[in-house]
Amino acid sequence: MIFAIKTLNHTLGLWTVDLGLWAQHPALWGSSFGLLVADPGQWTRSWAAVPYGFWSLCFFVLGCIVGSFLNVCIHRMPLGMSIVSPPSHCPHCKYSIPWYLNIPLLTWLVLRGRCKNCGAPISVRYFIVELLTGIAFLGCWLKFGNHLHPLSSIPVALAFAVLLAGLIAATFIDFEHFIIPDEITFGGIGVGLLASVLLPRLHDAPSHLSSLLQGLIGALAGAVVVYAILRLGKLLFGRHRLKLVPGTKIVFGEASLHLPGREIFYDDLFYRKSDAVVLRAQTLELIDRGYKDVTVRLSPAVLEIGDEKMSPDDVPCMECVCAEIVLPREAMGMGDVKFMSAIGAFIGWQGVIFSLMLSSMIGAAVGLILIILRRREFSSRMPYGPYIALAAVIWVFIGKKYWFALFQP
């Protein structure tokens, strides 16, 4: 029987097989198939004819699409909303966005950053995240991809692209809300370990088991080291003792603490339930009564005035006179511990040490610049996750090479 289809074009027409000939001579099936399997050079010559820019374009477009999804995560995760339902919509008029108005990069540019339905402005963050994610995916392909052997190099490039996507989402959330959701941290640990066992090249390991072991050590190192820093930082710098001019009046409002020339919101003071503001009041006035020479301790759950305890919600306003106040201060949070563990699962313990060292230098430099420019106070809160993320990106692209050049004989 002669096949009706004479030829099959494969890999953009790079080689053809005469099915009619195969039908007349079945013995050719085994020899031909064996050639395709046994001769990787045949595949190399085929893929070599695919333009180099083809895979670069694919990764960039895929990254922009993923970036569009990251925008949903960045907006909804901190609010406890589902990232699946409802579908994409305008946060102002709730207009459900059709697919042709949800094209990454292009839609924002065409609509000039405004909703098609109500004209409300759309944050430039949406465009930046899509573009940044596209560039991140492209960078992973250029770094880890091989257009001559794409099928073997694409998984590794995608694994690091997934890591970078998580870093981007965590960075924007941490900058805005000072949190890193568990969906990103715990999910990152799981994906990192799965990628480690499936892709030994992720850690340049000789076997799947060895790669998984390096991923586990990296995740454990990230969690243990950052948690140790957190506890040490809390012990050494967890309280900020602020000296005041004798006779200074302090006002505790419903949402913030008012110091001379400065207002501090309680959300910026109380990171944990155990954090507390402590002072020794010369005089203390509530709405219905007053105190003299008494110790005051305010935490998120309880207000202690001397031996009395009451709910902060029952005291809308409180004024006191004192010469010193102790404010809680946090260097890192548990989100940073889990975040570093997730990163360690992808980049190993060496990457963890490198990222912590470099992120501390980056954070210190940024903080110092902001203080000099008077954009922040010395004791004001600053997210640390974005600097860990930036250091991890540097490790992925250039840091690893220099690390092993310096420390590996």
CA 115 and chain centroid, separation: 27
Is the C-alpha dihedral spanning 381, 384, 385, 391 positive or negative? positive
Query: In the chain, what are the domain boundaries?
Result: 7-48, 60-177, 239-328
- Burial letters 199-222, b for 16+ CB under 10 A, else e: bbebbebeeeeebbbbbbbbbebb
Query: What does pTM read for this prediction?
Result: 0.75
- The three-point CA angle 399-402-407 to 5° equals 120
pLDDT at 398: 93
Q: Which amino acid is at 206?
A: P
pLDDT of the chain along its 409 residues, tens only? 333 333 334 333 333 344 344 444 444 444 443 434 444 445 455 776 778 789 999 999 999 999 999 999 999 999 889 998 888 888 788 888 888 888 999 999 998 889 888 888 989 999 999 999 999 999 999 999 988 888 889 999 999 999 999 999 999 999 988 889 999 999 999 999 999 999 999 999 999 999 999 999 999 999 999 999 887 877 776 677 888 888 899 999 988 899 888 888 887 678 777 788 999 999 999 988 899 999 999 998 999 999 999 998 888 899 999 999 998 876 677 889 999 999 999 999 999 999 999 999 998 898 888 878 876 665 566 788 999 999 999 999 998 888 877 776 5
